[in-house]
Amino acid sequence: MIPREARLHQPGTQTPRGTVGHMDDERPDLAELEPAELESVVAALGADRFHARQIFRWLHRRGREQFDGMTDLSRHLRARLDETCTITTPVVTSRERSSDGTQKFLFTLGDGRNIESVFIPDTPALTLCVSTQVGCAMRCGFCLTGQMGLARHLTAGEIAGQVRVLARELELQDTRFNIVLMGMGEPLHNYDATMKALRILAAPDGLALTPKRVTLSTVGLLPAMARLSEETWIPNLAVSLHATTDRVRHELIPTSRQQRLSDLITACRRFPLKHRDRITFEYVLLDGVNDTAADARRLARLLRGLRAKVNLLPLNEAPGIPFSRPSDEQVDRFASSLARSGVNVSVRKSRGRDIRAACGQLIVDSGPRAGSAPRVRSAQER
């Protein structure tokens, strides 16, 4: 029996590289399937289940998207697959290269919507930054993606497909690389598809990614964090904090108004960590808003006793973002204050700013636009 998810997820015809599928095709989409689901599809065709491993390997490890190129399958099986199944793949429609080596990829999906992904070399590892939604519903005031609003969730195949295509385009299929779910969207808002995509990417016959090579970034959706803590395959966790008081955080991240910082920190303290693992807390520094000496002291107190690392991100300014980047001197003062308090802290170097590929700069003409970003009072006004 063909899995229901294969029939319903993002249908599209099998298409040559560089084209998108048709949305009215109801054949099972093999790009959406985990290995066990793919075995069921193969068995329904009357073929031996071991062929599912071969297909999965061709698709996810070698980046082959046409059945006629899967040469260790019989011609009969390839013809049957071509007739009864499809493989839908996000298509690269533009590719920009930054002066620092960062590359930004614009993908077109089967319904014509667009998303962006980023390749960051030498971080010191090779890193792919991928999206989990078209737009984002979190409405963070310092992020261009948040100004798009949420058009729709990505399917598991569309999330994993970005990695599959980038690995092929960048010739990384035989190279170790890391993935950060820090592109467009809030991964835990699209929980089921995100976790299924990670299982597809972790499958031994595919890219075989390990949890240590994947980082999931979230604003801290507490019920979803509790679910994540019970998974058997748990990626590194990065929590977007960005403030040290409830008032400022609620203004910066309007969707956080239903929770308190203390509840988020408590959830982080309960989150399971393996030996030597840490939770990363991301903190965008905004001039005069959350970068004061008092903020640094409060942040150190919030994280006391946590196995944590703070990643400071001086704002990547862009038209439409109503905040300013602090001076380098102010960033250094903030970081030094945290370090003196015993906090493990680093300042992230902005990559790809000249092509709008840096953190908070991803935005495409796809989906509704939300209202203007919220105004946050400066420290002097509060």
Predicted confidence at residue 317, as pLDDT, reads: 86
Residues 29 and 108 in one domain: no
Quick one: pLDDT band at residue 202, thresholds 50, 70, 90?
A: very high
Asked whether residue 17 carries a pLDDT value surpassing 70, the answer given is no
Residue range(s) defining the domain that contains residue 65: 4-84
Same domain? 72 vs 102? no
In a domain, 382, yes or no: no
> What pLDDT, on the 0 to 100 scale, is given for residue 123?
72
Q: What local confidence, expressed as pLDDT, does residue 316 receive?
A: 87
Q: Is 339 exposed, middle or buried (0-12, 13-18, 19+ CB in 10 A)?
A: middle
Residues 195-204: what's their mean pLDDT? 98
| Same structural domain, 73 and 121 | no
pLDDT tens-place string over residues 25-45: 789 999 999 999 999 999 999
Give the residue from 15, 50, 84 where a domain finishes: 84
Query: Are both 174 and 67 inside the same structural domain?
Result: no
> Is the domain of 275 the same as that of 193?
yes
100 and 23 within one domain: no
187 inside domain: yes
Q: What is the pLDDT of residue 120?
A: 92
In a domain, 370, yes or no: no
Q: Does residue 378 belong to any structural domain of this protein?
A: no
Within its chain, how far is the Cα of 132 from the centroid? 5
DSSP string computed for 245-271: SHHHHHHHSGGGTTS-HHHHHHHHHHS
Query: Does 191 reside within a domain?
Result: yes
Does residue 217 sit within a domain?
yes
Residues 112, 37 share a domain: no
Residue count of the chain: 382
Confidence class for position 208, pLDDT limits 50, 70, 90: very high
CATH value at residue 106: 3.20.20.70
Last residue of a domain, one of 61, 84, 107: 84
Q: What is the mean pLDDT of residues 215-241?
A: 97
| Residue 68 domain-assigned (yes or no) | yes
Q: Which residues neighbour 11 within 8 Å (Cβ) at sequence distance 6 or greater?
A: 21, 22, 23, 24, 25, 26, 27, 29, 86, 88, 110
Residues 191 and 260 in one domain: yes
How many distinct structural domains can be found in the chain? Answer: 2
Same domain, 25 and 163: no
Pick the residue with more confidence: 371 or 249? 249
Let me know whether 167 and 214 are in one domain.
yes
* Nearest to 169, CA basis, from 33, 68, 65: 65
pLDDT(324) > 90: yes
CA triple 121-136-11, angle to 5 deg? 85
Q: For residue 313, is pLDDT > 70?
A: yes
pLDDT of 124 reads: 77
Nearest to 183 by CA among 321, 343, 60, 364: 364
User: Do both 328 and 182 map to the same domain?
Assistant: yes
How high is the mean pLDDT of the chain? 88
What is the structure's pLDDT at 15? 34
pLDDT of residue 153: 98
Q: What is the pTM of this model?
A: 0.88
Confidence of residue 368 (pLDDT cuts 50, 70, 90): very low
Residues 327, 279: one domain?
Answer: yes
Which candidate, 5, 38, 9, 33, places its Cα nearest to that of 21?
Answer: 9
CA distance 175 to 165: 14
Enumerate the active-site residues: 116, 359
In a domain, 363, yes or no: no
Write the CATH number for 52.
Answer: 1.10.150.530
Q: Which of 57, 84, 111 is the last residue of a domain?
A: 84
The pair of structure tokens assigned to 13 is 């015809």
